[in-house]
């Protein structure tokens, strides 16, 4: 096996339950720097694949997956060479999911941690209801990205559809392209130096090309007002 | 207690029916699942939407256990009952003395409903473990103001945010209308399948409101849930309307070839007699939030000085006095349900209800008395 892959499994030969069991049995690396590498072949649009993984290994999946793949992931560092359906990485709390292709609606919905990176396009309601963690989309996102999100960060390399940031709370969106429309209560804000540095680092970590200076910042208006007040003062009511 | 369905009467068997003993514990049933073993249901009663955030997390956990001890299925997230670093007793179960009097302990776990709301606020992966029913809630949450929203205290409980930096600056948070990762009702089937895979112990139910039954219910049934929950508590319904909607939902499901799929109803305020009449009308289980919420409200009223934030970093301990409190408030009503339910078993399905009101009899298709 090449590229340091020590274990390989096929989704054709194993049920999803068996596959997850096999992945969990693979001994984790003693080094945080170099995770044990696992290759998964035979992905062909299966729904609800590899949910609830909770093992510190690096998994490379070849092919396309259907809806809700990698939901509730913890610890695993996953790369999918292909497209994902709706709700990819739903409820992820730690680890990382990287999708080389496109993702459907609700990518990263209800995430509470970890990193989701989509190198193609993402559908509507990307990052909906997320409570923490980071989402990076190299291409465009659909309508209502970040709807109902309570926390975390969304980075959009391309354009966004309508009502970006609808009902969004303590969330920052960085966007490089055009926005069809912003939702009520969110606004474009200047990119501060410290955010520029932070975003630059995050882009590097997510393997997304580009300069942080190319991005603009979208935040709730109340969050901007709260920033303007000094720490320790009353937090403005958001509605 | 007000009887909403008082014009309906639970009928005894016909006069010439031979004397037979009743079946043993008929209220105990099982939820048949499309895949996997059936899920036991001790009583045809459940607590659908407890306002856990109105009491402390410790109190909520104790109340959930107290009601669970009575065999009522209780809906709760971990974050409803404990902070992030604490395991609720209701979720972990507890050791109690063996009921057969021997000097042994048994581990008691409680039937639990997992409310899977569209936004998934407060939900953690551990919530899936050991739940009996996962309820995919398609009905939209209203707050006390009537908005489709969650109150600040509800969000604070779920997200365990410090009081000094609350979510949304301490304002309400809008509620979702439909799961953001599902593109249409037609695509809901893969969500149902996903939930089945996430929780192999549970039956997957879908709950919805009664507003567009003829159109939406067949579409929901087509996604093959293990059961349907009909929310009839969101609007003010007359007794006949409540009964007719229950009847109608059952007819619609039967017409959609879902005659074996259980229909649970959330009727708002009902008496034990009303609950059994709803079962006779076609419901398989009935929400008794109006009874159980009394426990929350009384606890709230007597403990207003206590902090309502989640912050209870230590492990919870169950105090059996909470069980006595729950039993004192609910015990007689549950016994009445059990007794009336048992009496139903000796009467044919289509002869269990009658009414002296021609309107009720005709509308519901029950026996016209008199």
A105:B169 CB<8 A: no
- Cα dihedral angle (B45, B49, B53, B55), rounded to 10 degrees? -30
Nearest residue on chain B to A86, judged by CA atoms?
A: B181
B181:A91 CB<8 A: no
- Interchain CB contact of A143 with B (< 8 Å): no
- Is A5 buried (19+), middle (13-18) or exposed (0-12) by CB count in 10 A? middle
ipTM over 0.90: yes
Instruction: List Cα–Cα distances, B260 to B32, B228, B263, B284, in angstroms.
Output: 9, 11, 9, 10
For residue B287, what pLDDT is reported?
A: 98
Nearest residue on chain A to B194, judged by CA atoms?
A: A48
Contact A114, A93 (CB under 8 A): yes
Contact B344, B282 (CB under 8 A): no
- Interchain CB contact of B189 with A (< 8 Å): no
Q: Let me know if residue B249 belongs to a domain.
A: yes
Q: Look at residues A99, A94, A76 and name the one whose alpha carbon lies nearest to residue A26.
A: A76
pLDDT tens per residue, range B172-200: 899 998 999 999 999 999 999 999 999 99
Among partner residues B167, B170, B179, which is closest to A150 by beta-carbon distance? B167
Among partner residues A48, A66, A236, which is closest to B197 by beta-carbon distance? A48
- Domain of residue B39 covers 8-140+176-368
Domain count for chain B, please give it. 1
- Interchain CB contact of B138 with A (< 8 Å): no
**Each residue of B174-187: b (16+ CB within 10 Å) or e?**
bbbeebbbbbebeb
For residue A1, what pLDDT is reported?
A: 61
User: What are the start-end ranges of the H helices in chain B?
Assistant: 57-69, 78-81, 89-92, 152-159, 188-198, 213-221, 239-255, 272-280, 289-302, 320-344, 358-364
For residue A232, what pLDDT is reported?
A: 43
Q: How far apart are CA B130 and CA B34, in angstroms?
A: 18
For residue B310, what pLDDT is reported?
A: 44
Could you write out the DSSP letters of every residue in B266-300? E-SS--HHHHHHHHHTT-SEEE-HHHHHHHHHHHH
Q: Phi, psi at residue A86, to the nearest 5°?
A: -75, 155
Contact B108, B94 (CB under 8 A): yes
For residue B111, what pLDDT is reported?
A: 93
Q: Phi, psi at residue A80, to the nearest 5°?
A: -110, 120
Q: Let me know if residue B164 belongs to a domain.
A: no
Compute the C-alpha angle A81/A86/A88, nearest 5°: 55
- Cα dihedral angle (B325, B327, B331, B332), rounded to 10 degrees? -40
- Measured between alpha carbons, how far apart are the two ends of chain B, in Å? 26
By three-state DSSP, how is residue A187 classified? strand
Mean pLDDT in residue range A150-155: 94
Q: How far apart are CA A165 and CA A173, in angstroms?
A: 8
- Is B236 buried (19+), middle (13-18) or exposed (0-12) by CB count in 10 A? exposed
Q: Let me know if residue B145 belongs to a domain.
A: no
Closest approach of B122 to chain A, Cα-based (Å): 9
Q: Let me know if residue B153 belongs to a domain.
A: no
Q: Let me know if residue B156 belongs to a domain.
A: no
pLDDT tens per residue, range A3-40: 677 899 999 999 999 999 999 999 998 887 789 999 99
pLDDT band at A234 (very low <50, low <70, confident <90, very high): very low
Query: Domains in chain A, ordered, with CATH?
Result: 5-228 (2.160.20.60)
Percent of chain A beyond pLDDT 70? 95
For residue A13, what pLDDT is reported?
A: 95
For residue B27, what pLDDT is reported?
A: 85
The upper half-sphere exposure of residue B288, i.e. CA atoms within 13 Å in the direction of its Cβ, equals: 30
Among partner residues A52, A66, A235, which is closest to B165 by beta-carbon distance? A235
Q: Let me know if residue B159 belongs to a domain.
A: no
pLDDT exceeds cutoff 50 at A155? yes
CATH number of the domain bearing residue B227: 3.20.20.70
pLDDT tens per residue, range B152-168: 999 999 988 777 777 77
pLDDT band at A187 (very low <50, low <70, confident <90, very high): very high
Q: Let me know if residue B93 belongs to a domain.
A: yes
Q: How many helices (H) does chain A have, and how many strands (E)?
A: 3, 11
Contact B83, B310 (CB under 8 A): yes
Instruction: Give me the residues of chain B with pLDDT under 50, please.
Output: 307-311
Mean pLDDT in residue range A119-141: 97
Q: How far apart are CA B205 and CA B137, in angstroms?
A: 8
Q: Look at residues A105, A137, A99 and name the one whose alpha carbon lies nearest to residue A121.
A: A137
Whole-structure pTM value? 0.93
For residue A236, what pLDDT is reported?
A: 55
Q: Which positions in chain A touch B177 (Cβ < 8 Å)?
A: none
Q: Let me know if residue B150 belongs to a domain.
A: no
Mean pLDDT in residue range A209-216: 89
Residue predicted with more confidence, B161 or A168: A168
Taking all residues of chain A, what is their mean pLDDT, rounded to a whole number?
Answer: 92
Closest approach of A7 to chain B, Cα-based (Å): 25
């Amino acid at each position: 096996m090449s590229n340091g892959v020590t274990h390989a499994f096929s989704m054709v030969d194993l049920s999803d339950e068996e596959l997850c069991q096999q992945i969990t049995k693979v001994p984790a690396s003693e080094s945080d720097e170099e995770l044990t590498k696992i290759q998964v072949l035979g992905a062909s649009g299966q729904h609800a694949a590899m949910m609830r993984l909770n093992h510190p290994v690096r998994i490379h999946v070849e092919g396309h997956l259907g809806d809700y793949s990698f939901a509730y992931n913890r610890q695993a560092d996953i790369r999918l060479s292909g497209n994902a359906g709706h709700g990819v990485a739903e409820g992820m709390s730690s680890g990382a999911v990287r999708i080389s292709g496109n993702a459907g609606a609700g990518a990263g919905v209800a995430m509470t941690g970890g990193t989701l990176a989509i190198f193609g396009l993402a559908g509507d309601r990307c990052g909906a209801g997320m409570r923490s963690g980071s989402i990076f989309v190299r291409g465009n996102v659909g309508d209502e990205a970040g709807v109902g999100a309570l926390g975390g960060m969304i980075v959009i390399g391309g354009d966004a559809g309508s009502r970006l940031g609808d009902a969004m709370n303590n969330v920052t969106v960085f966007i490089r392209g055009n926005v069809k429309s912003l939702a009520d209560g969110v606004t474009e804000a200047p990119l501060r130096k410290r955010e520029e540095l932070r975003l630059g680092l995050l882009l590097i970590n997510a393997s997304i090309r580009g300069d942080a200076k190319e991005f603009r910042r979208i935040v709730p208006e109340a969050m901007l007002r709260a920033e303007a007040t000094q720490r320790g003062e009353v937090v403005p009511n958001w509605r | 207690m007000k009887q909403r369905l008082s014009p309906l009467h639970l009928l005894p068997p016909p006069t010439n029916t031979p004397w037979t003993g009743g079946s043993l514990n008929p209220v105990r049933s099982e939820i048949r699942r499309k895949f996997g073993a059936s899920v036991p249901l001790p009583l045809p009663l459940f607590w659908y939407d407890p306002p856990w955030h109105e009491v402390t997390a410790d109190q909520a956990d104790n109340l959930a256990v107290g009601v669970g001890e009575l065999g009522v299925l209780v809906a709760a997230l971990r974050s409803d009952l404990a902070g992030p670093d604490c395991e609720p007793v209701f979720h972990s179960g507890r050791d109690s003395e063996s009921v057969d009097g021997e000097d042994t302990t048994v581990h008691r776990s409680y039937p639990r409903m997992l409310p899977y709301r569209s936004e998934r606020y407060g939900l953690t992966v551990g919530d899936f473990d050991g739940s009996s029913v996962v309820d995919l809630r398609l009905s939209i949450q209203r707050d006390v103001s009537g908005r489709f929203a969650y109150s600040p205290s509800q969000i604070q409980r779920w997200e365990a945010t410090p009081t000094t930096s609350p979510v949304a600056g301490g304002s309400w948070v809008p509620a979702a209308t439909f799961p953001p990762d599902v593109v249409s009702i037609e695509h809901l089937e893969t969500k149902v399948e996903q939930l089945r895979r996430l929780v192999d112990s549970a039956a997957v139910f879908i709950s919805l409101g009664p507003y567009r039954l003829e159109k939406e219910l067949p579409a929901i049934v087509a996604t093959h849930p293990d059961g349907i929950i009909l929310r009839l508590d969101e609007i003010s319904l007359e007794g006949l309307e409540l009964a007719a909607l229950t009847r109608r939902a059952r007819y619609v499901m039967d017409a959609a070839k879902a005659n074996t799929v259980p229909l649970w109803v959330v009727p708002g305020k009902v008496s034990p007699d009303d609950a059994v009449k709803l079962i006779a009308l076609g419901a398989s289980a009935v929400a008794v939030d109006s009874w159980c919420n009394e426990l929350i409200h009384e606890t709230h009223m007597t403990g207003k000085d206590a902090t309502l934030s989640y912050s209870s970093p230590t492990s919870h301990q169950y105090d059996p006095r909470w069980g006595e409190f729950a039993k004192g408030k609910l015990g007689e009503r549950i016994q009445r349900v059990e007794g009336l339910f048992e009496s139903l078993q000796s009467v044919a399905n289509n002869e269990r209800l009658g009414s002296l009101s021609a309107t009720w009899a005709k509308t519901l298709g029950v026996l016209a008395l008199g």
